[in-house]
Chain A
Amino acid sequence: MAKYPTELKYSNEHEWVKKTDDVYTIGITDYAAEQLGDIVHLELPQPGDEFSIGEAFGVVESVKSVSDAYMPVAGRIVEVNEVVMNNPGVVNDDPYAEGWIIKISVEDETEIDNLMTAEAYEAFVVEES
């Protein structure tokens, strides 16, 4: 079994993207969550806000540190996960399902093709750590 879910694509800022029809769901990887430690606060955008690729869309704050979260692809926010806003620890506990962070719509459907596969991301993490 692969270390990271194979149905997702990954950015080098440790975000994952899942495409379901026209909606792209974005979260952070379990590697990122573990590095941050216990997540206690998220600052997230409003539905309708637009961001370009690589732009910081929010802030993920753990007990010890503060990190920006970056757009793996450009898009417009359609939904923010209220569950993680109210209970940020869910991002640590279940980063690929309950712990998703935002859902977006995109203009350029080819951007996701430039992201890493699970296998490539695993190699990337090994190299970075």
Chain B
Amino acid sequence: MSELKRTPLYDEHKKLNGRIVPFAGWEMPVQYSGVIDEHMAVRKNVGLFDVSHMGEFEITGDKALDYLNRVTTNNVAKLEDGGCQYTLLCYENGTVVDDLILSRVAKNHYIAIVNAANLEKDFAWLEKQNSEGATLKNVSDDYALIAVQGPKSPALVAKVFNQDFTSLKYYNCTEASIGDANVKVFRTGYTGEDGFELMVEAKHACTLWQQLLVVGADYGVKPCGLGARDTLRLEVAYSLYGHEINSEINALEANLGWVVKLQKGDFIGREALQSIKDQGVTRKIVGFEMAEAGIGRDGCPVFVGDKQIGYVTSGTHAPLLKKAVGIALIDVNYKDVGTEILIDIRGKKKKAVVQKTPFYNRCA
């Protein structure tokens, strides 16, 4: 086992009494004040997350578009300067290498933000597929990534940068400067709230983090750890690699058909996904809510009667909704909302019901 890595903000987490745990090869804060407290800060006010463990790749050159359109499932040609899209890298069989956010910073200049756990695998995969000759650069160690999430994030980011980001729409990015630091500002996130992800050179990361905390005091800002990151994404049923998506679950089973553009031209996995679409999937990712006390967690078998129909991929107590919810991969015959299922929790079958996702919608 190689040594755990630390983000540029590690000392800040220690100062804030963050509880540090190993995660995907990194020493990361899992919580500061408590998962529920941090979760609610993001739903009501604003929270700060260090997500510097995530990987950033730059893809440049006049072959970049053709190359990216062949290795990802979404239509990269639709991206304009300053546009971002959620997309997938798929294997030939339609299962998933990783999910990522791809942004077009400028013509022939793209940034991909990928999962920490998959960083090296992804980069090796991307290099191997690069028959077009695009220029690929792993810039992960050069940058920190700070997520500022919650309804008060626009006000906080505007104040810190002394710049109005009202015109920066969701899933768009721009550049901004603060002191000597040039920051790439993405209006993206993984919480289901309005928010920003700030990609800043590693040497300026601590200053920016501190400013966000100091200025953020007026907005009720809280530093948030991986624990809240997980409960927040689960309330909105966002997929997490290694749970709802992996190399054994295809993109259509994972409900990610909306980022698979079968008509855009050839791409890795297209043939398999077209055929899966034509035949129909046999299993599907669905949301569920516990109808009895208990929390169905990752790996719990799912039953209807005595027949196992699948397993739980993620589950938690949802702090805002104050109930136990989760996501499961089950036989497609039982996917309809309202279907009663049983979740085997430590040997006891507990009642649950298939639910519409997201469980929480900020616009509703």
Contact = CB atoms under 8 A, between A and B. Distances in A.
Interface string B338-364: 000000001000000000000000000
Given A37-B227, A40-B317, A64 B35 contact: yes
A38 B30 contact: no
A40 B318 CA distance: 10
Interface residues of B, number: 18
Interface residues of A, number: 13
Contact of A40 (B37, B295, B346): B295
Nearest to A64: B227
Interface in B320-335: 324
Interface in A31-64: 37-38, 40-41, 43, 59, 61-64
Contacts of B230: 64
B280 interface: no
Given A37-B34, A38-B36, A63 B294 contact: no
B293 A41 contact: yes
Nearest to B39: A63
Nearest to B294: A41
A41 B35 CA distance: 15
A66 B316 CA distance: 11
A82 B294 CA distance: 16
A38 B34 contact: yes
Given A37-B31, A40-B317, A63 B293 contact: no
A36 to B, nearest CB: 11
Contacts of B346: 59, 66
Contacts of B30: 64
9 contacts: A37-B35, A41-B293, A41-B295, A41-B324, A61-B294, A63-B317, A63-B319, A64-B230, A66-B295
Interface of A: 37-38, 40-41, 43, 59, 61-64, 66, 89, 92
Q: Which 5 A-B pairs have the closest CB atoms?
A: A40-B317, A63-B35, A38-B36, A63-B317, A64-B227
